[in-house]
Amino acid sequence: EAGVAQSPRYKIIEKRQSVAFWCNPISGHATLYWYQQILGQGPKLLIQFQNNGVVDDSQLPKDRFSAERLKGVDSTLKIQPAKLEDSAVYLCASSSFLAARGDEQFFGPGTRLTVL
């Protein structure tokens, strides 16, 4: 079974530029998550999708971050404009809605963003 795919793996941009990350979840997984992991910290949930609808985006800085999941499969996360403090690893994860409670989230390898 193929895992969660993310691209690019690394991105370096100047502050105030825009950037987009792509995620392809495990086939059949209805739930998709985007996390931000700042160096030295645990992942922090940014947004959760159920199919193509948003379940929770309470921690998403909506003035600069946006995310979409068209057709309930792939997802993109965009930052516009980027700030220095956005430097982090952005992790995508997916899980099966039909699994029992407490089921596993499967994580992709992440995209490491450096904002100069």
Candidate ranges 13-21, 63-71, 79-87, 89-97; the one touching other proteins (CB under 8 A): 89-97
The contact mask relative to other proteins for 4-33 (x = CB under 8 A, - = no) is x--------------------------x--
Tell whether residue 50 is a contact of other proteins (CB under 8 A).
Answer: yes
Tell whether residue 85 is a contact of other proteins (CB under 8 A).
Answer: no
Which positions ≥6 away from 105 have C-beta within 8 Å? Answer: 33, 93, 94, 95
* DSSP string covering 69-114: -GGGS-EEEEESS--GGG-EEEEEEEE-TTSPTTPPPEE---EEEE
Instruction: Decide whether 9 or 16 has the Cβ nearer to other proteins.
Output: 9
CB of residue 52 vs other proteins: minimum separation in angstroms?
16
Neighbours of 63 (CB within 10 A): 8
